[in-house]
């Protein structure tokens, strides 16, 4: 639905709620798609959100559940917070087991157990099956009940099976299994329609199936789906038995989530620190990063402290200290961002890392010379001291060289150590560019002291 329409609808619902015209609100809501209801709820006050959700639960529980899903686990949990365990169970039961698992794993442990006990036996077993797998793996995010066809069927029998199956709106690929449920092939609905009905399924199917394991990281799952332009990917257990399926809409969520994680980590923010996260949760999440930054900044400051006598004599040096450090940090951040994203997109590997390092060093030094000469000239014109210009320019060139080297090596090294390179690269690189910046600038300045007339 168009943004303008959503806004108009939001306004109407707000007004109707104020007049307690609940049946009107319900009539408006139940015609909408879950995604649209959730977009409307986003712009409502907390109280109105609760009213809307309560109406949905009364009159269209399936829509309530899908809206909750679209709302996401973090904001969704707020809506569930003041419901009884029984009510929570009724809503979550309406969801596919993979979505139900997301919410249940986010509930307080005791509530989660009660919800699992209260759910219909089959659904509960499915969710518990998913919860056995680790977070962010294929097993955790898959839909476990996959429609599949036996390899011994004919095409005609296969079509009949499809026609009589329930709940099968989204079939893109039909997976073919043997007696013991091993994944042996895949066939598309259209392939079935263009061959004679008596053809054995085995003859039509493709045996070269792209699949992932239950323990495959969700990021790798997303990479496979994107790489081969798939609409869904089957998940198999260690014996190659079909365990579930992950569809492309879930993959899109993973891609967005992982991109957000990288963007946030690079800025020193936790992945789950959203706009709508409460202020004190955000403080708790951001403070540790800032404390680490304080520690590294103080560490770099000890280098400045070594040169206090020089600064006492030539106080104008203090003016350019943050310039050297800041520019080096920016140059290092440019490099490390390209490398971190390159690692995430699979463009950088150990194999091509040598040429990448060479390139980034060349880029660092070239930019260093350009910016160094420019900064040096500005400083010379400003303070009328050519030695200052030379020292500033030289320090910038040295710092940019280091920025290029470390901006490349730090993320590569962290990746090799199985640490998320987005998570820690920034702190390492900027600490070093601060330190090297101070050291080279104040070191060069002290060395060339005899040429520096007292300002």
User: Closest approach of Cβ 16 to a second copy, in Å?
Assistant: 18
User: Closest approach of Cβ 117 to a second copy, in Å?
Assistant: 30
Q: Which is nearer to a second copy, 172 or 447 (CB)?
A: 172
Binding test (CB under 8 A) with a second copy, winner from 4, 109, 110, 163: 163
Site for a second copy in 168-207 (CB under 8 A): 168-169, 171-172, 188-190, 193-194
Residue 349 as a binder of a second copy (CB under 8 A): the answer is: yes
Distance CA 17, CA 53 (A): 12
The helix (H) or strand (E) run that includes residue 236 is strand 232-236
Residue 311 as a binder of a second copy (CB under 8 A): the answer is: yes
Q: Which stretch binds a second copy (CB under 8 A): 21-29, 101-109, 113-121, 330-338?
A: 330-338
User: Closest approach of Cβ 324 to a second copy, in Å?
Assistant: 9
Residue 305 as a binder of a second copy (CB under 8 A): the answer is: yes
The helix (H) or strand (E) run that includes residue 38 is helix 34-42
Q: Which is nearer to a second copy, 51 or 89 (CB)?
A: 51
Distance from CA of residue 117 to its chain's centroid? Answer: 32
Site for a second copy in 361-420 (CB under 8 A): 362-363, 366-367, 370-371, 374-375, 378
Residue 446 as a binder of a second copy (CB under 8 A): the answer is: no
Site for a second copy in 32-61 (CB under 8 A): 33, 35, 39, 42-43
Binding test (CB under 8 A) with a second copy, winner from 22, 260, 413, 420: 260
Distance CA 334, CA 337 (A): 5
Distance CA 424, CA 418 (A): 12
Distance CA 277, CA 270 (A): 11
Distance CA 187, CA 281 (A): 48
Residue 30 as a binder of a second copy (CB under 8 A): the answer is: no
Q: Which is nearer to a second copy, 52 or 321 (CB)?
A: 321
The helix (H) or strand (E) run that includes residue 16 is helix 3-18
Residue 174, helix vs strand vs coil: strand
Q: Which is nearer to a second copy, 112 or 407 (CB)?
A: 407
3-state secondary structure 420-454: CHHHHHHHHHHHHHHHHHHHHHHHHHHHCHHHCCC
Distance CA 345, CA 106 (A): 29
Binding test (CB under 8 A) with a second copy, winner from 341, 401, 405, 411: 341
């Amino acid at each position: 639905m168009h943004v303008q329409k959503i806004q108009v609808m939001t306004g109407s619902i707000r007004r109707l709620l104020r007049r307690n015209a609940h049946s009107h609100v319900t009539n408006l809501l139940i015609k909408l798609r879950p995604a649209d209801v959730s977009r409307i709820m986003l712009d409502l006050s907390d109280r109105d959100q609760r009213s809307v959700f309560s109406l949905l639960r009364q009159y269209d529980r399936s829509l309530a559940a899908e809206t909750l899903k679209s709302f996401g686990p973090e904001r969704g949990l707020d809506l569930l917070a003041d419901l009884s365990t029984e009510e929570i169970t009724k809503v979550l039961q309406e969801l596919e087991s993979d979505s139900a698992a997301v919410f249940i794993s986010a509930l307080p442990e005791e509530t989660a157990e009660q919800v699992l006990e209260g759910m219909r036996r089959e659904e509960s077993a499915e969710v518990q099956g998913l919860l056995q797998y680790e977070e962010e793996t294929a097993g955790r995010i898959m839909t476990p009940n996959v429609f599949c066809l036996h390899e011994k069927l004919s095409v005609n029998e296969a079509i009949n099976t499809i026609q009589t199956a329930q709940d099968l709106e989204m079939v893109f690929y039909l997976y073919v299994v043997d007696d013991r449920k091993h994944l042996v092939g895949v066939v598309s609905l259209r392939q079935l329609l263009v061959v004679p009905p008596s053809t054995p399924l085995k003859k039509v199917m493709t045996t070269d199936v792209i699949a992932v394991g239950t323990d495959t990281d969700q990021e790798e799952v997303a990479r496979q789906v994107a790489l081969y332009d798939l609409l869904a990917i089957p998940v198999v257990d260690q014996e190659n038995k079909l365990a579930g399926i992950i569809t492309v809409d879930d993959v899109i969520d993973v891609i967005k989530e992982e991109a957000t994680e990288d963007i946030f980590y690079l800025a020193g923010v936790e992945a789950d620190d959203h706009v709508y996260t409460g202020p004190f949760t955000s403080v708790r999440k951001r403070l540790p990063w800032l404390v680490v930054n304080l520690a590294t900044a103080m560490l770099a400051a000890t280098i400045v402290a070594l040169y206090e006598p020089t600064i006492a004599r030539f106080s104008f040096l203090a003016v350019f200290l943050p310039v050297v450090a800041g520019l080096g940090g920016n140059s290092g951040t440019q490099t490390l961002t390209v490398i971190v994203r390159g690692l995430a997109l699979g463009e950088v590997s150990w194999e091509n890392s040598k040429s990448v390092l060479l390139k980034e060093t060349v880029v660092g030094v070239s930019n260093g010379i350009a910016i160094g000469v420019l900064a040096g000239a500005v400083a010379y014109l400003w303070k009328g001291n050519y030695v200052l210009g030379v020292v500033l320019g030289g320090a910038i060139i040295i710092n940019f060289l280091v920025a290029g080297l470390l901006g490349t090596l730090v993320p590569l090294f962290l990746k090799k150590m199985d640490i998320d390179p987005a998570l820690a690269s920034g702190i390492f690189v900027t600490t070093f560019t601060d330190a090297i910046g101070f050291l080279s600038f104040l070191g060069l300045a002290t060395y060339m002291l005899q040429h520096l007339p007292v300002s």
